[in-house]
């Protein structure tokens, strides 16, 4: 309780939030540009939703404990790459990779890490593509870099993730439930594949 309070003091710091918001704004602007460009080419929307969040003190606290790290803000800054998060939801799986390719062309964005849980889903069935990127922020104190996690997923993956998160993520283990959730993740992945094929068929007509 006390530890969360201390973390919360840092998380609520106006200067910290300003830097987080600046990083989010820069990435959102770039993603919107990428969306306009790809959507114009294809005559349909390639990104259906972009959301963002600044990780809460409570979430930082539980994650640090989960990783067996000291629950203080310095440790969080050093070890957690998702203090700032952006989620990009696309209708189709192949276009997630097109968005990533265009992000790679942005000279001022440095991609530190790509975790492709679409090609290699997590054991529980979770699918998404995670990028850890660094964004330069120019404040009165000079240039600084902020680390951001960008999660890219399809509408169908998002549907599964949101429900799984509400129902089960980080909750007690139950083999039967876990197996069922995984089965549905696979069903959704198959459907994503079928929709992509159908889209290609329609676009050929």
Q: Which residues are designated catalytic?
A: 149
Contacting range for ligand 0O2; rule: CB under 6 A; set: 17-25, 90-98, 123-131, 135-143: 123-131
With binding defined as CB under 6 A, does residue 127 bind ligand 0O2? Answer: no
How many residues lie near ligand 0O2 (CB under 6 A)? 13
CA distances 48 to 57, 92, 93, 96, Å, are: 29, 10, 12, 11
Strand pairing partners for 134? 110, 147
Taking residues 57 to 76 in sequence order and writing x for each that binds ligand 0O2 by CB under 6 A, - otherwise, the string is --x---x-------------
> Angle at Cα 184 formed by Cα 183 and Cα 185, nearest 5°?
90
174-193 binders of ligand 0O2 (CB under 6 A):
none
With binding defined as CB under 6 A, does residue 161 bind ligand 0O2? Answer: yes
With binding defined as CB under 6 A, does residue 82 bind ligand 0O2? Answer: yes
Taking residues 18 to 37 in sequence order and writing x for each that binds ligand 0O2 by CB under 6 A, - otherwise, the string is --------------------
With binding defined as CB under 6 A, does residue 93 bind ligand 0O2? Answer: no
With binding defined as CB under 6 A, does residue 158 bind ligand 0O2? Answer: no
Residue 194: burial class (beta carbons within 10 Å; 0-12, 13-18, 19+): exposed
Chain residues binding ligand 0O2 by CB under 6 A are 55, 59, 63, 82, 115, 122, 124, 126, 130, 161, 164-165, 169
């Amino acid at each position: 309780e006390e530890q969360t309070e201390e973390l919360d003091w840092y998380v609520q710091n106006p200067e910290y939030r300003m830097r987080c918001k600046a990083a989010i704004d820069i990435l959102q602007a770039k993603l919107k540009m990428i969306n306009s460009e790809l959507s114009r080419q294809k005559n349909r929307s390639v990104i259906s939703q972009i959301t963002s969040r600044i990780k809460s003190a409570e979430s930082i606290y539980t994650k640090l404990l989960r990783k067996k790290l000291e629950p203080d803000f310095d440790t969080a800054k050093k070890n957690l790459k998702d203090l700032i998060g952006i989620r990009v939801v696309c209708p189709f799986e192949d276009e997630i990779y097109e968005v990533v390719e265009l992000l790679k062309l942005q000279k001022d964005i440095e991609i530190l890490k790509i975790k492709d849980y679409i090609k290699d889903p997590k054991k529980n069935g979770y699918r998404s593509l995670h990028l850890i990127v660094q964004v330069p922020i120019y404040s009165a104190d000079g240039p600084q870099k902020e680390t951001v996690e960008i999660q890219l997923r399809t509408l169908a993956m998002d549907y599964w993730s949101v429900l799984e998160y509400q129902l089960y993520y980080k909750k007690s283990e139950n083999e039967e439930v876990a197996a069922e959730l995984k089965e549905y993740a696979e069903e959704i992945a198959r459907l994503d594949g079928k929709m992509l094929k159908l889209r290609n068929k329609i676009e050929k007509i």
